[in-house]
Structure 1
Amino acid sequence: MLRIEELEAALPAMTPWRVPGGRSVDWAALEAVLGTALPSDFRALAEAYPVLVIDDFLSVSVPRPGREVSWASGAREDEILQDLYEMGDTEDYVPYPHPGGLISWGESNSGDVFYWKTSPTDPDAWLVVVRTANADWIEFPVCAVEFLVGVYGRTIDVPGMPRDFPSDDPKVLGLSDRVD
């Protein structure tokens, strides 16, 4: 499992958004609602960074302090994935909380969604599944941070993405943690 520093090396534009001292996400509250722990690489990312938007294209959805229950509820009640599943359009993938179900951790502005496949039971062994806007389902044998390192380090190619993904000089925007 890769460390956050390896993602920062592959995507240096994210480093200005690092939160000194961490963000203090209430993981116990989030996991109580979600019904599972989350991968440690994602937890480290969520402690170090707010929601990140890369090249105004890919959003990495991390829980905001004070909004953990809302994040977990949204992950459990993915209506779009549930509708696709009920229509038989998920190629044998199932929504969480079904065993091995998918939990979203990111999306693109083109309609691509990035998930974890929640099997095996160890969250640190979960794989990334991408549902492209073209309705292709692609599984990658890596965790979320390793996936991002691979994409932005250009060692992982995601079929079906725009030709300019990733860009040569990705820009990163961090969204505020402020809870109104």
Structure 2
Amino acid sequence: MVRVEELEAALPSMTQWRAPGGRSVDWAALEAGLGTALPSDFRSLAEAYPVLVIDDFLMVSLPTPGAEASWASASRDDEILQDLYEMGDTEEYVPYPQPGGLISWASSDSGDTFYWRTSPADPDAWPVVVRTDNADWIEFPVGAVEFLAGVYGRTIDVPGMPGNFPGDDPKVLGLSDRID
């Protein structure tokens, strides 16, 4: 499993947002509200960083200490995914909390969504699933941190993404510094 430091090597500008001493997310509360454990690489990323916006395009949704219940609720009640599922537009994928259901962890300004498929039972083995704004569904046999490190390190290509993704010199912003 790829460590946060490998993602930092691919995105050096993110290190300015690293929280010294960690962020103290209440994982027991978050995972109780969600109904499942989360991958350890994601937990490490969330302990080190707040919500990150990469190239003013990709937002990585990391839980905020004190707001774990709202993060869990939003993840359980993904209305867009539920609507796509009800319309038959999710290929073989199903929304969480159905067995093997999808949980979103990032999204783009173009309408792309990045999920985990919650199968197999071990969260550290959950693959990343991308739904592009073109309604393409692509599965990658890696975790979220390895996926991001691969995309920004240019070892993982995501078909159907905009031609300038990833950018040549990606910058990472905190959510509060996002350019609107």
Task: Report TM bin, short chain.
Answer: over 0.9
Residue number in structure 2 paired with 1:159: 159
Q: Unpaired runs of 5+ in structure 2? A: none
Q: TM-score, normalization: structure 2?
A: 0.97
Whole-Å separation in 1 of the counterparts to 2:168 and 2:82? 35
Note the aligned Cα RMSD (angstroms). Answer: 0.6
Residues 1-180 of structure 1: pairs in structure 2 closer than 5 A: 1-175=1-175
Whole-Å separation in 1 of the counterparts to 2:50 and 2:174? 6
Q: TM-score, normalization: structure 1?
A: 0.97
**Offset from partner CA, 1:145-177 (integer Å, 9 cap, x none):** 00001000000000111111111100110135x
**Offset from partner CA, 1:118-161 (integer Å, 9 cap, x none):** 00010000000000000000000100000001000000000111
Q: Unpaired runs of 5+ in structure 1? A: none
Whole-Å separation in 1 of the counterparts to 2:96 and 2:21? 32
**Offset from partner CA, 1:11-63 (integer Å, 9 cap, x none):** 10100000000000000000011000000000000000000000000000000
AA at the equivalent of 2:106: G
Partner SS for 2:116: strand
Partner SS for 1:59: strand
Partner SS for 1:151: helix
Partner SS for 2:36: coil
Whole-Å separation in 1 of the counterparts to 2:126 and 2:141? 8
Percent of pairs identical after alignment? 83
Deviation, structure 1 residue 92: 1.0
AA at the equivalent of 1:170: P
Partner SS for 1:150: helix
Aligned length: 176
List structure 1 runs of 4+ shifted beyond 6 angstroms: none
